Amino acid sequence: MLLSTAVFGISLEIVIVVLLLLIIILGVILALTIRQLQIVSRKYYTLTSGSTAKDLESIMLTRFKEMDKVKARMKRFNKEHKTFKGHLDSCYNKMGLVKYDAFDSMAGELSFSLALLNDENSGFVLSTMHSKQGCFSYAKEVIQGESYIALSKEEKEAIRKAQTVDEEIERMTNEPDEEDIM
């Protein structure tokens, strides 16, 4: 028996067929959702229970304790780093070397002036002059790039080289290599 009544201008048979199709589609979606929920529930159950599996809470607590140890270690390393950095600031970390012939009768640039400076450009310049009669060495104190004792031009050059060693290293490391150009 066919119903001939129309709803909103559409026959009642078409409305019922469409509603039945929607119910079937919703049933399929519900079945798929229940299946996915069962899979997730099984995984959760395996993770959180069982005599052979570790307890999730104890695993998390162990990891948090390990993270706290790592944080404490990092704090200690940072403190030690600052201490070492303070010691390094007073160390001689800049060097300038000038080789030259101190006397006209000598050849081979056996004489030299060596400047060793710290970050504040304080330190000393050591000059050694080689002659036929022997070798003579002199040390002169340098305070903030200046000496209270008269300096030779080679000693001044050694101090200048030591003071600009950071700039020279920076320039050398920023120069493009031939590989970078190509």
pLDDT in tens, 40-93: 998 888 776 655 556 667 778 888 999 999 999 999 999 999 888 877 777 888
How many helices and strands in the chain, by DSSP H and E? 5, 6
Question: Residue range 125-130: average pLDDT?
Answer: 90
Q: Nearest Cα to 140, choosing from 130, 154, 90?
A: 154
The most confident of 24-28, 52-56, 102-106, by mean pLDDT:
24-28
Percent of the chain with pLDDT over 90: 31
Q: What are the beta bridge partners of residue 123? A: 117, 142
CB 141 within 8 A of CB 121: no
The model carries a pTM of: 0.50
pLDDT number for residue 21: 95
Residue 16 has pLDDT above 50, yes or no: yes
Contacts of residue 111, Cβ cutoff 8 Å, sequence gap at least 6: 99, 100, 101, 102, 127, 128, 129, 130, 154
Measured CA to CA, the distance from residue 103 to residue 108 in angstroms comes to 11
Could you give phi then psi for residue 101, rounded to 5 degrees? -95, 115
Residue 175 has pLDDT above 80, yes or no: no
pLDDT number for residue 69: 95
- What is the residue extent of each domain of the chain? 10-38, 60-89, 94-174
